[in-house]
Amino acid sequence: MTDNRFDPSSADGRWQRAWDEAGTFTADSNSDKPKSYVLEMFPYPSGRIHMGHVRNYTMGDVLARYKKMRGHEVLHPMGWDAFGMPAENAAMEKKVHPGSWTRSNIEAMKAQLKRIGFALDWTREFATCDPEYYGHEQALFLDMYEAGMVYRRSSEVNWDPVDMTVLANEQVIDGKGWRSGAEVEKRKLDQWFLKITDFAEDLLDGLGELDHWPEKVKLMQENWIGKSQGLEFSFELSNGEKLPVYTTRPDTIFGASFCAIAADHPISQGLADDPAVAAFIEECKRGGTTAAALETAEKLGYRTDITAKHPFTGEPLPVFIANFVLMDYGTGAVMGVPGHDQRDFEFATKYDLPIQRVVAKDLESADAPMGDEAEPGDGVIIHSDFLNGLSVEHAKADVINRAEDGGWGEGTTVWRLRDWGVSRQRYWGTPIPFIHCETCGIVPVPKDQLPVKLPEDVDFETPGNPLERHPTWKHVDCPTCGGKARRETDTLDTFTNSSWYFLRFASQPEDKPFDPEEIAKWMPVEHYIGGIEHAILHLLYARFWTRALARLGKFEVKEPFASLFTQGMVTHETYSLGDGSWLSPDEVRKDGADWIRIEDGAPVTAGRVVKMSKSKKNVVDPDNIIEKYGADSVRWFMLSDSPPERDLPWSEAGIEGCWRFVQRLWRLFDQIDQTATGEDKALARKAHQAIVAVAEDIEALSFNKAVARIYELTGAAEKAKPSESRNFAIRTILHLIAPMMPHLAEEAHARMASGLIADAHWPEHDEAMLVEDEVTIAVQHKGKLRDTLTVPKGASKEDLEALALASEKVQRSIDGAEIRKVIVVPDRLVNIVT
């Protein structure tokens, strides 16, 4: 009566259309059901959906469908993070407009997502490059400006002196420009900043309320915000000036043997008349602006003639200009304590400065010779006059007190977090809505003139910012005085686009960014899922925007994402030829134990399993897989085996196994026997236990465990003889897999009932059916397993002990030794200690 094979090539599309036509996944904000907002980080439209997307969206999809089965009104939207550099690169390489390149990518990727059968509300789709979206973003940016959260200052960028253009960190390879190959320099530009540091305390405290965020992400954000307590004080300099410095280790002040200031510190700049100083400052401009580049660069210093007077000893300390001191952090000047800071240690070794230990592990080791690195650890203070014998903690407090009493310093809090530079000298982003007027200065674009749209007619033939070069776009009249003025040609960092998109998904009125009442209905996002690579920047910026908008009175929500899940990457084995060139998986095959190239039989080395990437050619295209196995097999693969937070190795064998399981289920679903009677208590119990366990696993996002349980129940149902219990078990499996393999589930459901299984309820379980009658307990002798016993559940300690001692195997192991102790854990084990 039915085919004995499930055919996804016809079923998948049929059910996808059925869901579309019924509007099954359209979220109704007026529903009186409890609301659930499930969101995956929206994709950048790079051109093709990759396996990482499939994994991410499958997890969210299972949650969304499960929540719906649990009676929730679910919002599960999708859109496009559409601004960014790849579109401009494509424009340069392929001579296409970034907008049309992006639009056609979106169209292709949307079709791919549809083929996987995601339960998405497409009615709310948008792209961040839609003028409507970025216009509202400009309005929000102006609101933040009015509230004093936006300002301008000069800041360093990577400058390519050959291409005459600003480079992203990504475009700096080994300190050189990626196109020109020229040595990159630091250059200062006037740029726009958002005052995220005003929210440092709030963002830090807010982490405490995020109970459903991974600890590691919270810890990373905490370290990133980097609250530190320390002492800010001033050295008196030999030239009569004062040098304010900040230190987190005032306890080590007697170990200071030099001071170091940043190259762009005012004192350094004041000495720049000296050609040697000027040359050194120039030297410091070499190299990129990333933390890693700065930290790993060789420590360089220039010894000035100035000395600083130690506040306690009065000793003169040499003042150096040094490349490892940052003007952006603290005061741009530090006291160097080589004994207890690794950077200072290296610097002191290089420039032959004294290295004195002032914190020792204990008094005995106080005068042991210093090793070849600094000692940053805790201990007791030595060689420090009145601090001797104090703990690090007490010494810190003592020095701060004395500085405050003496009026030469004070205890302060310093944050590692820096204000967010949002200026980008690029075309494909949100234009920053300001006008520079010769007479009025900086003037916001009036809101009724938003959006400030990007011009369409731009060229990418010459490097640099096309908005700057455009013949007319930047020339405007001042909105205040009507005089000649110039548009801001910087665009906003793409991270601003992704800092509020979840609000626009929840509510999208035409005349404003969002409607507070709708926000109140849906926010916060209940489940937010995405890559660990966003642990800091995107997630911190989104938290910041939400708090900033709340401070502006736009809504009450303070934290956008109630729970966060960071998923692992999809990886694949790599294949290479003897010459080191990479081969793609479909160019090779296994020949016995070895790998060969299909084309000519050349030997191939199977290498490490790493993240799928174009450069390693170990990419598997989801479309080809769906074509061959259907959407459900791929979805099942994404959920199986690996825990979702870890990497998932893609394998051909694995997807084959999923395909076989789809067919196994299909055959099983055909075996409901309406004439069957009788109870199979063991199977019924397994089914009830699975209903509870799979629900718990899905809610904990432990999809791999849910999958294993479904395999177990399936195996048991297959083996069982027909009975009412078996029919129940089969129908249970059908509902348990519905969120994971929705097409197969609909197809099978349609043959036994009317309506969509997507609209069905999660099966009910019977509490009484969960309890086992019998348990297997372990019998140990001195902690080693000797025997097992099957006993009724709840057997008494005495009975268990007697049964254990009666075991022949146990007696042989004890071998007549004296029994000193017997530990009995009911329903678990008996441990006999001799």
Q: Site residues for RNA, window 396-425 (CB under 7 A)?
A: 416-418, 420-421, 423-425
Residue closer to RNA (CB basis): 621 or 647: 647
**Least distance to RNA from the beta carbon of 395, Å?**
21
Residues 449 to 468 in contact with RNA, rule: CB under 7 A: none
Using CA atoms, how far apart are residues 433 and 61, in angstroms rounded to an integer? 37
Single out the residue of 783, 792, 797, 806 in contact with RNA (rule: CB under 7 A).
783
**Least distance to RNA from the beta carbon of 644, Å?**
9
Single out the residue of 712, 750, 795, 814 in contact with RNA (rule: CB under 7 A).
712
Using CA atoms, how far apart are residues 2 and 494, in angstroms rounded to an integer? 52
Residue closer to RNA (CB basis): 440 or 795: 795
Residue type, 461: E
Asked if residue 227 binds RNA (CB under 7 A), the reply is no
Using CA atoms, how far apart are residues 331 and 215, in angstroms rounded to an integer? 32
Q: Residue written as tokens 């190299």? A: 287
Q: Name the segment binding RNA (CB under 7 A); options: 59-67, 81-89, 439-447, 615-623.
A: 81-89
Q: Is 438 helix (H, G, I), strand (E, B) or coil?
A: coil
Residue closer to RNA (CB basis): 402 or 786: 786
Q: Name the segment binding RNA (CB under 7 A); options: 286-294, 391-399, 448-456, 793-801.
A: 286-294
Q: Is 106 within 8 Å of 82 (Cβ atoms)?
A: yes
3-state DSSP helix/strand/coil % of the chain, to nearest 5: 40, 20, 40
Residue closer to RNA (CB basis): 476 or 729: 729
Question: Which letter does DSSP use for residue 41 in this model?
Answer: P
Residue closer to RNA (CB basis): 760 or 814: 814
Residues 599 to 658 in contact with RNA, rule: CB under 7 A: 610-611, 640-643, 646-649, 651, 653-654, 656-657
Residues 792 to 821 in contact with RNA, rule: CB under 7 A: 809, 812-813, 821
Residue closer to RNA (CB basis): 16 or 425: 425
Using CA atoms, how far apart are residues 522 and 36, in angstroms rounded to an integer? 7
Kindly list the strands in the beta sheet with 35-40, ordered across the sheet, starting from the edge strand earlier in the chain: 73-75, 35-40, 527-531, 564-567
Alpha-carbon torsion 527, 531, 533, 538, what sign?
A: negative
Asked if residue 660 binds RNA (CB under 7 A), the reply is yes
**Least distance to RNA from the beta carbon of 694, Å?**
12
**Structure tokens that stand for 589 in this block:** 């095959």
**Least distance to RNA from the beta carbon of 556, Å?**
27
Residues 533 to 562 in contact with RNA, rule: CB under 7 A: 533-538
Asked if residue 719 binds RNA (CB under 7 A), the reply is yes
Residue closer to RNA (CB basis): 74 or 91: 91
**Burial (CB count <10 Å: 0-12, 13-18, 19+), residue 364:** exposed
**Least distance to RNA from the beta carbon of 758, Å?**
25
Helices 215-225 and 537-551: crossing angle in degrees, nearest 10, is 70
Question: Which letter does DSSP use for residue 515 in this model?
Answer: -
Residues in contact with RNA, shown as a per-residue x/- string from 37 to 76 under the rule CB under 7 A? -------x--------------------------------
Residue closer to RNA (CB basis): 209 or 696: 696
**Least distance to RNA from the beta carbon of 777, Å?**
7
Residue type, 245: V
Asked if residue 750 binds RNA (CB under 7 A), the reply is no
Q: Residue written as tokens 């800041």? A: 155
Residue closer to RNA (CB basis): 602 or 825: 825
Q: Name the segment binding RNA (CB under 7 A); options: 69-77, 362-370, 435-443, 774-782.
A: 774-782
Asked if residue 216 binds RNA (CB under 7 A), the reply is yes
DSSP for 4-19 reads: SS--HHHHHHHHHHHH
Residues in contact with RNA, shown as a per-residue x/- string from 241 to 280 under the rule CB under 7 A? ----------------------------------------
Q: Name the segment binding RNA (CB under 7 A); options: 223-231, 446-454, 511-519, 550-558.
A: 223-231
**Least distance to RNA from the beta carbon of 340, Å?**
12
DSSP for 93-130 reads: HH---HHHHHHHHHHHHHHHHHHTT---BGGG--BTTS
* Closest by Cα among 648, 652, 662, 557 to 606: 652
Q: Name the segment binding RNA (CB under 7 A); options: 348-356, 391-399, 447-455, 712-720.
A: 712-720
Angle (nearest 5°) at CA 165 between 163 and 167: 110
Single out the residue of 664, 752, 769, 801 in contact with RNA (rule: CB under 7 A).
664
Side-chain-side CA neighbours of 643 within 13 Å: the count stands at 7
Using CA atoms, how far apart are residues 357 and 368, in angstroms rounded to an integer? 9
Residue closer to RNA (CB basis): 33 or 828: 828
Q: Residue written as tokens 């001033």? A: 234
**Least distance to RNA from the beta carbon of 477, Å?**
28
Single out the residue of 708, 750, 760, 814 in contact with RNA (rule: CB under 7 A).
708
Asked if residue 331 binds RNA (CB under 7 A), the reply is no
Residue closer to RNA (CB basis): 257 or 813: 813
* Closest by Cα among 248, 218, 604, 511 to 395: 248
Cα–Cα distances in angstroms (integers) from residue 531 to residues 217, 292, 443, in the given order: 11, 22, 39
Using CA atoms, how far apart are residues 344 and 451, in angstroms rounded to an integer? 51
| Bridge-based pairing state of the strands 582-583 and 570-576 | antiparallel
Residues 287 to 306 in contact with RNA, rule: CB under 7 A: 289-292, 295-296
Q: Is 486 within 8 Å of 464 (Cβ atoms)?
A: no
Using CA atoms, how far apart are residues 285 and 299, in angstroms rounded to an integer? 13
Q: Name the segment binding RNA (CB under 7 A); options: 278-286, 501-509, 618-626, 703-711.
A: 703-711
Residues 98 to 127 in contact with RNA, rule: CB under 7 A: none
**Least distance to RNA from the beta carbon of 738, Å?**
19
Cα–Cα distances in angstroms (integers) from residue 353 to residues 238, 259, 299, in the given order: 19, 11, 14
**Least distance to RNA from the beta carbon of 39, Å?**
15
Cα–Cα distances in angstroms (integers) from residue 178 to residues 158, 490, 825, in the given order: 12, 22, 66
Side-chain-side CA neighbours of 636 within 13 Å: the count stands at 29
Residue closer to RNA (CB basis): 16 or 642: 642
Residues 340 to 399 in contact with RNA, rule: CB under 7 A: 342-343
Residue closer to RNA (CB basis): 474 or 786: 786
Asked if residue 234 binds RNA (CB under 7 A), the reply is no
Kindly list the strands in the beta sheet with 434-437, ordered across the sheet, starting from the edge strand earlier in the chain: 441-444, 434-437, 484-487, 475-477
Q: Is 543 within 8 Å of 553 (Cβ atoms)?
A: no
Using CA atoms, how far apart are residues 238 and 306, in angstroms rounded to an integer? 6
By CB under 7 A, the count of residues binding RNA is 100
Q: Name the segment binding RNA (CB under 7 A); options: 364-372, 515-523, 550-558, 825-833.
A: 825-833
Residue closer to RNA (CB basis): 234 or 663: 663
| Bridge-based pairing state of the strands 35-40 and 527-531 | parallel
**Least distance to RNA from the beta carbon of 155, Å?**
7
Asked if residue 778 binds RNA (CB under 7 A), the reply is yes
Residue closer to RNA (CB basis): 289 or 723: 289
Residues 666 to 695 in contact with RNA, rule: CB under 7 A: none
Residues 494 to 513 in contact with RNA, rule: CB under 7 A: 494-495
**Least distance to RNA from the beta carbon of 684, Å?**
19
Q: Is 367 within 8 Å of 359 (Cβ atoms)?
A: no
* Closest by Cα among 370, 414, 403 to 253: 403
Residues 133 to 162 in contact with RNA, rule: CB under 7 A: 157-158
Asked if residue 786 binds RNA (CB under 7 A), the reply is yes
